[in-house]
Structure 1
Amino acid sequence: MDGTSQIGDHYHVIKKLGQGTFSHVLMARELISGHLVALKFVRKDRTRQTTFIHELNILIALSEYPGIIKTYPTYIETMDYFIFTQELAPAGTLQSIIKAEVGIPEEVVKRCAVQITAALDYMHGRGLVHRDLKPDNVLLMDKECYHIKLCDFGFTQLVGSLIPSMSHIIPYMPPELCSLKPKQLLVLDQSMDIWSLGILLFVALTGYFPWEEAVGHNHKYQMFLHWQDNRNYVPAPLLWKGFTQKALVMFLKLLSHNPSSRSPPDTVLKFLHLPWTAKVSSDSLVVEGDLNIIILDDNDELQVIEYIIQEQEQVSAVCY
């Protein structure tokens, strides 16, 4: 039972917008005003009333910010659902426009980055951590991402809250949460959102995850950690070779293994004027900007060669 039969006096349901483990979302038209809205149906068999009220209160409190989806201060309770109303995001989610193995254009990602970091700064300034930042939870008011909004605050809690281990791990989770054992608790702070922001930007630019989970036994994550700890001596892992050196610096600031070393979200703004993705030439070389850096793929091993262009057109190559 989807609950639609119990709201017929107030709304005309048009179609389903999304489905999750704990809830589903429908597009509907308010019968009195004629406005299109999004109705979120939260399953009562999966959600305690106190948890629902907690999320609803956070949503209402954050609604005044333009980069967070507006939630109306009422709800309907049926036998099976808690139902509340939000403004409609007509262009879907950020996830819906990310092409697998391709991503979305850099200029679009940068537009998203500006708005997401501003929304996170707004939340963090009020002592709140989103805890579930991912492309599915970024709503688009237009397909070009000139106006986007954060949503889904079911996991949001105050800084300093004690959070348990999760029943399953997703790529957006930071290593300190991935490695948490049952019955252990983690003191929550904003660094968790910063890590998720870094993964979100990587996925948006590439169309794939850098790893499945940020744990020691994951080979892709091991390679990243090895590079992070020895980046003056070893090149970036293969999955990261499509980024410029400046973009790699940005990612390292967001994805530090040490939570206390992660830079604040607005660090991203300092890199907006720089290219993030490297140009790929026809002979499979990854070329950065003015040819100062070239990354070669040689026998499955990357060699990074820095070309120092002298005034007399002499070029010397230094391998590291």
Structure 2
Amino acid sequence: FFFFFFYQEVQELRKLGSYEPAFTDHYEVVRGIGEGGFATVKLARHRLTGTEVAVKALAKVLWNLPFLSEPDLMAGLDHPNVIQLFQVIETINYVYVVMEYAGRGNLRKLIAEPGGMPEEEARRLFRQTMQAVQYCHIKGIVHLDLKPENMALDDRGNVKLIDFGLSARFTAGQKLNRFWGTLLYFAPEIVLGKAYEGPPADVWSLGVTLYFMLTGRRPFMASTAQQVKKLILEGTYDTPLNVSEGAQSLIREILTVDPTQRPTLEQVMRHPWLSQGKAASPSPSVQTPEATPLSPNPCFTLLVPHFHKCKRWAAVGPSDRTEGSIEVQSRMLS
């Protein structure tokens, strides 16, 4: 009933039509990218610079729900394989989250069903994804909804981790009580519905993702949700014989049912299969991302958050220091 009520409220707000002037004065909406039960995502163009951005519109009736702290979580992240937050605009009805646009869609579109993708390409993209998730963990954030649909690709074919709507902050050893996400990627401890540690759950989801990338099939599939849960809890899946022994070994290690025995991200990144075709990696805490980021538009440095110091977000790009400069108030979630 709780979610049905808010879903109905969002549908009513969507009937308001076009985006509000506080947003459209500075951005031209180009087309839709995606829509869920509680948000819409559109491609937009910054009127002053012509830069394309992705904008997620969140209905403010939802804004105080704990799993919609996405802008606050993203504000502290700066990594070539994590989507960049540019700006947050708050109006009467919506909060507009303006982000970097990754123009090649998501990883899901590259995975043939069945068959998967070539191992070399899967290794490259999975390595980048691992680096993004590892960075988030170092910053004290667990994603909790890792899947190919949340791994976007930029114009150079590099991974950009997206959609932190279900993510959470954590400290070492902290137990979480968040049980939403995508069932096919749930870790066994989440299926059990008991408090769990976030990083091992992310590792499990990465294992499911790798299996899907290499085979074009999810490892835990059944006709009902209960049967899927049973397979996950048992760790029962078909060994992907069409992939190398090294990849099979990595998948086996990651998909360990007991989270205390599951490898950490650091251990996964040292696996021989991931090391193929790459020089020895430095320490995880100082690891250099392998993606090559695009040079930023010097006229489009929009967001300078005074993170955890005040509730003000300001657009300070050089071209905006004129009459009509964007300066918005945004709610910082604690």
Q: TM-score, normalised by structure 2?
A: 0.68
Identity %: 28
Which amino acid in structure 1 is aligned with residue 213 of structure 2?
Answer: A
- Count of aligned positions: 256
Partner of residue 330, structure 2? none
Given the alignment of the two structures, is residue 262 of structure 1 paired with residue 259 of structure 2, yes or no?
A: no
Question: By how many angstroms is 1:178 displaced?
Answer: 0.9
Closer, same or farther in 2 for the Cα pair 1:270/1:218, shift >3 Å?
Answer: same
1:221 to 203, 225, 231: 231
Asked which structure has the greater RCO (Cα within 8 Å, sep 6+), the reply is 2
3-state DSSP of counterpart to 1:84:
strand
Q: Which residue is equivalent to 2:146?
A: 133
CA, structure 1 residues 224+75, in 2 after alignment: closer, same or farther (shift >3 Å)? same
Q: How far has the Cα of 1:119 moved from its partner?
A: 1.2
Q: Distance in 1 between matches of 2:109 and 2:187?
A: 23
Residue 314 of structure 2 is matched in structure 1 by none
Could you list the per-position Cα deviations for residues 224-254 of structure 1 after superposition, in whole angstroms to 9, with x for gaps in the alignment? 636xxxxxxxxxx645332333322211211
Give me the CA root mean square deviation.
2.9
Structure 2: gaps (5+ residues): 1-13, 278-334
CA distance in 1, matches of 2:232, 2:161: 31
Report the equivalent of 1:120: 133
The 8 Å contact of residues 215 and 240 in structure 2, kept in 1 or not, is answered as: no
1:238–1:252 Cα change, 3 Å: closer
Equivalent-residue separation in structure 2 for 1:132 and 1:223 (angstroms)? 18
* Structure 1 unaligned blocks of 5 or more: 227-236, 276-320
The residue that corresponds to 1:22 in the other structure is 38
The Cα shift of 1:49 comes to: 6.3
| 3-state SS, counterpart of residue 183 of structure 2 | coil
| 1:273, distance to aligned residue in structure 2 (A) | 5.6
Paired residues of 2:246 and 2:272 also in contact (CA < 8 A): no
Are positions 1:55 and 2:55 aligned together? no
Q: Which structure has greater strand proportion?
A: 1
Tell me: CA distance 1:223–1:41, structure 2 relative to 1, closer, same or farther (3 Å).
Answer: closer
Kept after mapping to 1: 8 A contact 2:191/2:229: no
Contact 1:142 1:148 in 2 (8 A): no
Give CA deviations for 1:163-219 in whole Å, capped at 9, x if unaligned: 336367511110110121xxxx41323101100000001111122211148998449
Task: Find the counterpart in structure 2 of residue 295 from structure 1.
Answer: none
Instruction: Quote the residue 2:94 is aligned against.
Output: 81
Amino acid corresponding to residue 84 of structure 2 in structure 1: K
- Structure 2 distance, partners of 1:273, 1:187, is 30
Whether 1:107 and 2:117 are equivalent positions in the alignment is no
Q: Label 1:168 to 1:30 Cα distance change in 2 as closer, same or farther (>3 A).
A: closer
Higher mean displacement: 159-168 or 258-267: 159-168
Q: 2:167 aligns with which of 139, 146, 156?
A: 156
2:198 corresponds in structure 1 to 189
Superposition deviation, residue 23 in structure 1: 1.4
Secondary structure at 1:99 match in 2: coil
Structure 1 residue 127, shift from structure 2 partner: 2.5
Structure 1 partner of 2:246: 246
Distance in 2, Cα, partners of 1:15 & 1:271: 40
- Secondary structure at the aligned position of 1:117 is classed as helix
Checking the alignment, whether the CA contact within 8 Å between 1:211 and 1:220 is kept in structure 2 is no
Which of the two has higher C-alpha Rg? 1
Q: CA deviation at 1:262?
A: 1.3
